[in-house]
Structure 1
Amino acid sequence: MIDYITDYMTIDQDYNAFKGKETFICNKGIKNLALEVKNYILQNYQTENLAEITNLTRITSDFYPDLLDHRAVDWIFVLNTLNFALWNPRSTKQWTVNQLTGYQALCVAIKRAIDEEIPIWSPKYYTKLTQHELEMIFKSDDGETNIPLIHERLTILHEIGNILLHKYQGSFVTCVKRSKGNPLKLLNLIVTNFESYQDKSTYEKEPVYFYTKARSLVSDIWFYFKGHKFGFNYATWMKTMFIDYRFSQILLHFKIVSYSKQHLTKLERNDELKYGSKEEIEIRSSSMAAIDSLSTEVFKMCNDYFVKKKQTDINYTIILDNFLSDYRQVHDQLLMETQPFPNIKCVYY
């Protein structure tokens, strides 16, 4: 059992405090990319697409449940629970569904299963799933490349399903309702009850709390229902999170982060990094610190402009996530050819 989260400081950790020995942040790179993001924002503002790039679920909206769908919360819970280790090492075949990769491929596969009347959203179903059945749900376009860590995904579905059936009346909706509109309480329910969300490490004898998947799940539910359905009170620290290892390629491309020669060699060789290792923690900590600094810089560059336009409710963190997602998709081949990304196979990220 992990420590109970007592306040927001435990999860809103200052990742700049973990001074990297293998991974480093460049402030000049942050300013350069912030200018790119600023142009992205202003271009979309001028074409009246600002609402589109400030929508957290914009990328996956075609593959998410309808707002009135009674399965929506459990569906989103399954999506977030299985959102880990979706990339194979560079220079190898990626798991692809409907020509999409990563989280989008996961969304498509789940939506495809539900359209085929497979109740993958229901713990009564997925607690009894076999590995063969799960492999068919996540069948790739080529019929050969499997989703990574299929056995671990099956084990997790069995575990979370049994917990929901025995403690939460067979639905994640019960967890949300028991939080009574408090996102911190919901986060506690998630990380204390579901092992695959207990994302906590130790760096030089100091605890490091990531809880990336748990925070993403809480944010996803809040933004998806806009806080209305469950009386959810949004907290400023419960922001969308940096959860895709491929984004680190963009940080390298813009020279926001750099690695020691030894560490870079390991990444270029596609050496697998162990979850909880110093290298893995430094990559995640420095990436999250860089994104936080980048979000702050974008705010400084853009806020005065939008204050004059009397538009002050812009969430720059969501815009930044969407920019990174767009950039990775548009420049996917370039990034794959020029920038390594961590080969980490774990159930948390």
Structure 2
Amino acid sequence: MSRVLEDSHFIASNSKNVQVNTEGCHQVASWIQQQLDTLGPKFANWQDHELHPKSQDSHTLDWIFLIDILNFSFWSDADTRDSGNHPARFGVRYKGNLYTGYWSLCAAINKALDNNIPITTPSFYANETLCPDDLIASIFASDTKEPVPLLDERIRIMRASGKALLKHHRGRFVHLLETCNHSAQKFLELLLQDFPDFRDISLYKGRDCYILKRAQILVAETWACFHGQSYGRFDDIDSITMFADYRVPQILWQLGCLDYSSEFESRLRKSELIAHNDPMEIEMRGCSIWAVELVRQAANRKNLNAIMIDFFLWDMAKEWQATGYSPHQERALSSVPSIRVRSIYY
């Protein structure tokens, strides 16, 4: 059992305001098995997403690395009720479409590359002369009324991560991968050692609990892009858990895998801004990881891991948000908003 999974089990075993519903997890496992049978390869094909790279080379690795050091906090101050894409929400227009959330990040990076700005090259974005702050700000300029959240933090993390690659890994993500010997857990160790901004660790009841959302998703997206081969080969890929953000826990609640206390639910319904490392936030994230593990165990399908379940649930959440669909009307996505935490970790 990985450190993240061990710590999530500890959190779930001690949680007061979020509970993992075992029966709900088993029901979702059955539903996911049906989806596997009907959707087939569509279930988790990372490259099918229109803004993800289609090539499989070291330049794509640089794209994935940049995306994942910046993949945090895209929820909108304007859209507190999760009622779809609010017209003021930060967005980037690319090839005739307006993208929001995670996709706004992908669109901004792709647009910069189309304009011959080598924004995915670590030696470029680490260099304040070659890549000044105002250039990065222009790349993330919003095409709506709301600016990108935490711009200063994004710039700081780009600089620090690029310099860390130059110092420790000859300036390229590919060289970091080469040192991990196809081990996801070794890869995580190197990330936490050389890149402090990946250290998504919360103190809960006297114990340091590893959550590692962005670090694990960097492993997962590398694996998914390369179909578990070449640069994406990790012999222990099944040790990676789900990625505890704000959207997947919300759909786990909607599907009945999680139950909230009246106090926590009230805070969410009021769209209260909750601090990172608030005990309720830690419980929501840890219980989400453990709930997906129970779903995985109950599904009992060969080659079905927590990564695939997470990707599938995230895609479903976005589809249901856009269409207003809910499999459990009493737990519609709009009835309890996702948690509002401004954090560089998710």
TM-score range (shorter-chain normalised) is 0.7 to 0.9
* Structure 1 unaligned blocks of 5 or more: 1-7, 45-49, 304-311
Distance 1:40 1:231, change over 3 A: closer
Partner residue, 1:52: 42
Q: Is the 2:212–2:243 Cα contact (8 Å) retained in structure 1?
A: no
Shift of the 14–105 alpha-carbon distance from structure 1 to 2, 3 Å rule, reads same
Among candidates 326, 334, 338, match of residue 335 of structure 2: 338
Match of residue 320, structure 1, among 309, 326, 331: 309
Deviates more, 1:101-110 or 1:229-238: 229-238
Given that 1:135 and 1:146 are in contact with CA atoms closer than 8 Å, whether structure 2 keeps it comes out as no
- Aligned ranges for residues 1-349 of structure 1 at < 5 Å? 9-18=2-11, 19-44=14-39, 50-55=40-45, 57-60=46-49, 62-64=51-53, 66-68=55-57, 70-89=58-77, 90-91=80-81, 93-97=88-92, 98-127=97-126, 128=128, 129-142=131-144, 144-230=145-231, 232-239=233-240, 241-299=242-300, 303=301, 312=302, 314-333=303-322, 334=324, 335=332, 337-349=334-346
Shift, 1:155, TM fit: 0.6
- Following the alignment from structure 1 to structure 2, what is the Cα–Cα distance between the partners of residues 249 and 230? 32
The secondary structure found in structure 2 opposite 1:99 is strand
CA pair 322-178 structure 1, distance change in 2 beyond 3 A: closer
Distance 1:9 1:37 in 2: 24
Structure 2 residues without counterparts, runs of 5 or longer = 325-331
Counterpart Cα distance in 1 of 2:316 and 2:182: 34
1:292-326 C-alpha deviation (Å, 9 max, x unpaired): 11122222xxx4xxxxxxxx5x3253442243123
Alpha-carbon distance in structure 1 between the residues aligned to 2:59 and 2:47? 19
Question: How far off its partner does 1:14 sit?
Answer: 4.7
> 1: distance between equivalents of 2:67 and 2:316?
23
- Please say if residues 64 and 222 of structure 2, whose CA atoms lie closer than 8 Å, have aligned partners that are also in contact: yes
CA 317–13 in structure 1, closer or farther in 2 if over 3 Å, else same: same
Q: CA deviation at 1:156?
A: 0.5
**Equivalence for 1:308:** none
Separation of aligned partners in 2, 1:145 and 1:316 = 37
Aligned residue type for 2:56: L
Change (3 A) 1:316 1:160: closer
Q: Give the secondary structure class of the aligned counterpart of 1:166.
A: helix
1:214 to 1:226, Cα distance in 2 relative to 1, 3 A: same
Q: How many percent identity over aligned positions?
A: 26
- The verdict on how the C-alpha distance between 1:182 and 1:39 changes in structure 2, with shifts beyond 3 A counting, is closer
Aligned length: 322
- Please identify, of 176-185 and 279-288, the stretch whose mean Cα deviation from structure 2 is larger: 176-185
Deviation at 1:231, TM superposition (A): 8.3
